[in-house]
């Protein structure tokens, strides 16, 4: 992370097995697919998360002392966050809202949408780029702040999650808080239906494959997706210091090679070779509540409240003083 996208793509292609880091799929188009996933019937996570955000807005907001500036990491369309913003603006005259996501173009459109809804009552500023580049800016904000990170933590490999959380902890002053959502679903059938129903007409599959479109554009190549097939599996792990997760890859159906014009290199795939669509162990992690408690404690974050509906937990953490 915090590497340029070309470096990140090259690092993945030079690895064994080859991979495309998950963050590479979220260009402007990828962010749109991500939004479309919210309408997929079997993709339980979005609706479960929306429900828990609604619960929080109704019963949890009173745990936060107003006023504060809300910073959102990896905000996407902000549809869910708007549930919280609506509730805050029922009581407050205005709210400062710092928005972060990878694509500056996508963020610009989100800002336009937010202005159309809230006008000047929502004072929005954007922090485009990788989390690692925006943490110092958030840390420098001197007023009271609340960080919001929805649908994000679980996307990162197990060895990266503590690093991101440590950075979050370092931005928090005594009166600040952070709200983090996590997938706590333990039903294998439901999980496999949501993540492994590969179908090119569905936004989930389009989002998985978008990393290849980004690769073709950034490295000037022409990797042909019709010569690969999507496959995946769910890896269950109950160890308290770990989590369960999904692995999704593209399997090369033939022997093939492609020139990467922008870097003067060639990448070759053997027949049957896997191109992983994540870096590290996997993606879309699923936690038990014990695993979450262990993870937060290991980075000096104290759970001060938690709401869960069996599929999603929304955890409010503070820095341990």
Number of shown-chain residues binding ligand SAM (CB under 6 A): 18
Q: Bridge-partner residues for 125, per DSSP?
A: 98
- Return the sign of the alpha-carbon dihedral for residues 57, 62, 64, 70: positive
Task: Kindly indicate which of the ranges 54-62, 70-78, 110-118, 189-197 contains the residues binding ligand SAM, using the contact rule CB under 6 A.
Answer: 70-78
Contact 311, 53 (CB under 8 A): no
Question: Cα–Cα distance between 209 and 191 in angstroms, integer?
Answer: 19
User: Dihedrals φ, ψ of 254, to 5°?
Assistant: -140, 170
Q: How far is the CB of 171 from ligand SAM (least distance, A)?
A: 14
249-278 residues near ligand SAM, rule: CB under 6 A: none
Tell me whether residue 150 or residue 276 sits nearer to ligand SAM (CB atom). Answer: 150
Tell me whether residue 89 or residue 155 sits nearer to ligand SAM (CB atom). Answer: 155
Q: Helix or strand or coil: residue 132?
A: helix
Kindly tell me which residue out of 12, 74, 203, 279 binds ligand SAM, with binding defined by CB under 6 A: 74
137-196 residues near ligand SAM, rule: CB under 6 A: 150-152, 155
Tell me whether residue 284 or residue 306 sits nearer to ligand SAM (CB atom). Answer: 284
Q: How far is the CB of 192 from ligand SAM (least distance, A)?
A: 19
Beta-strand pair 18-19/69-73: unpaired
Contact 29, 291 (CB under 8 A): no
- Residue 76, interface with ligand SAM (CB under 6 A)? yes
Question: Cα–Cα distance between 169 and 163 in angstroms, integer?
Answer: 10
Question: Cα–Cα distance between 298 and 171 in angstroms, integer?
Answer: 16
- Residue 206, interface with ligand SAM (CB under 6 A)? no
Question: Cα–Cα distance between 291 and 314 in angstroms, integer?
Answer: 14
- Residue 23, interface with ligand SAM (CB under 6 A)? yes
Which residue, among 319, 315, 320, has the nearest Cα to 63 in the 3D structure?
Answer: 315
One character per residue 102-141, x = contact with ligand SAM (rule: CB under 6 A):
x---------------------------xx----------
Question: Cα–Cα distance between 233 and 282 in angstroms, integer?
Answer: 10
Kindly tell me which residue out of 75, 84, 110, 146 binds ligand SAM, with binding defined by CB under 6 A: 75
Kindly tell me which residue out of 9, 13, 101, 207 binds ligand SAM, with binding defined by CB under 6 A: 101
Binding stretches for ligand SAM (CB under 6 A) = 1, 23, 26, 31, 34, 74-76, 80, 100-102, 130-131, 150-152, 155
């Amino acid at each position: 992370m915090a590497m340029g996208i070309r470096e990140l793509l090259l690092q993945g292609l030079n690895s064994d097995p080859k991979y495309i880091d998950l963050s590479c799929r979220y260009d402007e188009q990828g962010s749109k697919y991500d939004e479309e996933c919210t309408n997929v019937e079997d993709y339980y996570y979005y609706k479960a998360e929306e429900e828990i955000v609604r619960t929080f807005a109704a019963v949890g907001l009173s745990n936060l002392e107003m006023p504060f500036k809300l910073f959102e990491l990896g905000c996407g369309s902000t549809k869910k966050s708007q549930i919280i913003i609506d509730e805050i603006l029922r009581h407050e005259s205005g709210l400062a809202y710092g928005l972060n996501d990878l694509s500056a173009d996508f963020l610009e459109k989100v800002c336009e949408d937010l202005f159309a809804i809230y006008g000047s009552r929502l004072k929005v500023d954007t922090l485009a780029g990788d989390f690692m580049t925006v943490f110092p800016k958030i840390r420098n904000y001197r007023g009271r702040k609340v960080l919001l990170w929805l649908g994000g933590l679980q996307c990162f490999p197990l060895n990266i999650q503590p690093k991101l959380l440590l950075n979050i902890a370092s931005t928090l002053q005594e009166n600040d808080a952070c709200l983090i959502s996590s997938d706590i679903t333990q039903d294998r059938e439901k999980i496999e239906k949501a993540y492994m129903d590969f179908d090119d007409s569905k936004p989930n599959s389009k989002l998985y494959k978008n990393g290849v479109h980004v690769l073709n554009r950034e490295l000037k190549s022409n990797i042909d997706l019709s010569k690969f097939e999507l496959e995946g599996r769910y890896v269950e792990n109950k160890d308290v210091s770990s989590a369960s997760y999904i692995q999704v890859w593209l399997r090369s159906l033939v022997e093939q090679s492609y020139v990467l014009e922008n870097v003067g290199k060639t990448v070759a795939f053997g027949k049957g070779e896997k191109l992983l669509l994540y870096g590290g162990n996997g993606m879309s992690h699923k936690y038990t509540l014990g695993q979450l408690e262990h993870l937060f404690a290991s980075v000096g974050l104290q759970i001060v409240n938690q709401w869960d509906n069996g599929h999603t937990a929304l955890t409010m953490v503070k820095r341990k003083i």
